[in-house]
Structure 1
């Protein structure tokens, strides 16, 4: 197992062109986890839902819930396979977007349009993260686990505050992209495109 200590912000910037806010842990000086900025509210360590193996807070941990999910066999048949809970890597960010299904009708002799709202589209979800070596799980192991979840021909139950506050309980993986971090074999960037999936029994 590698003892590589990555700079998460630099890796995110190289892989996705974004620079997330990160915590820098100083083991030499006492740190009470409090940072004060005049205009920016900052979460404290106590607000963290979970801590990473490096001692940094994970504010919004996300998990694929284990259970039996359908996968295609080599013969092309759908077979239910058991899955264990899978915690998405700590260095993961997620974006949400949802459109409304609106029909617009032009009005002669007036400005604007008449809008008829028929409903809401699915949530479009983009999950971006980094598979990194940890004391318990290597980057390659996380990569292989994500590949196994990608093989599911079914909706996947998800757990996490960012999903629950939007009433998202299941998602369908539509696309997955693994990138290569130049010169870093123990860093595997990934990007998942998914959409929310509401079971029919929830709508009755």
Structure 2
């Protein structure tokens, strides 16, 4: 699959030079420098394809594991390919007010875990029936008696997230569609805490 990007068009779309941010002469000088840049084609296959054949670059998989809380083995779970992932990371900062000084003194304690929001759709592509079995499968994943699930995915790997814990599952109504169930999961990245003897 080949990709071709028009850098000049992207710059105009995201940085409106002609709307007062720069004179037209400056804008033309900047933008004309991109006319001779060759776009390198890529023939790499995308990571996955959705159920309706749409190529997607990202995926989220929960890997098989042993659940210490119940002694059961978990066979893993693949989120639907149309799923999106939003990641937010907050710093843990202690703010102290000092008498006679404007503002506050800040002390960085640590980086907090990644707060992850997973949004997606469970779709029954075979009929207009509600996807009951797929929803029950997602529900079982969210009810696992563990706070450490091993995960993999393109975006997760880039953020160095190898484990997460699921905190909340929301099943939103899908108005007008009997064969679709939208969902939202709140999770946090985890680093295994191992006590060595």
TM over 0.5: yes
- The answer for unaligned runs of 5 or more in structure 2 is 12-40
Determine helix, strand or coil for the equivalent of 2:10: coil
Partner of 2:31: none
Determine helix, strand or coil for the equivalent of 1:153: coil
Aligned equivalent of 2:159, options 149, 166, 169: 166
Partner of 2:175: 182
- The answer for unaligned runs of 5 or more in structure 1 is 1-31, 71-77
**Contact 2:46/2:57, CA 8 A, preserved across alignment:** yes
Aligned equivalent of 1:101, options 83, 87, 92: 92
Partner of 2:70: 79
Greater Cα radius of gyration, structure 1 or 2? 2
**Contact 1:45/1:57, CA 8 A, preserved across alignment:** no
CA drift of 1:134 comes to 4.4
Determine helix, strand or coil for the equivalent of 1:168: coil
Determine helix, strand or coil for the equivalent of 1:185: coil
CA drift of 1:83 comes to 1.9
Partner of 1:124: 115
Aligned equivalent of 1:112, options 103, 121, 146: 103
Q: TM-score scaled to structure 2, two decimals? A: 0.71
Q: How many pairs align?
A: 161
CA drift of 1:79 comes to 1.4
Q: TM-score scaled to structure 1, two decimals? A: 0.69
Q: CA RMSD in A?
A: 2.7
Partner of 1:153: 145
CA drift of 1:183 comes to 2.6
- Give the whole-Å Cα distance in 1 for the aligned partners of 2:158 and 2:51: 27
- Give the whole-Å Cα distance in 2 for the aligned partners of 1:112 and 1:166: 33
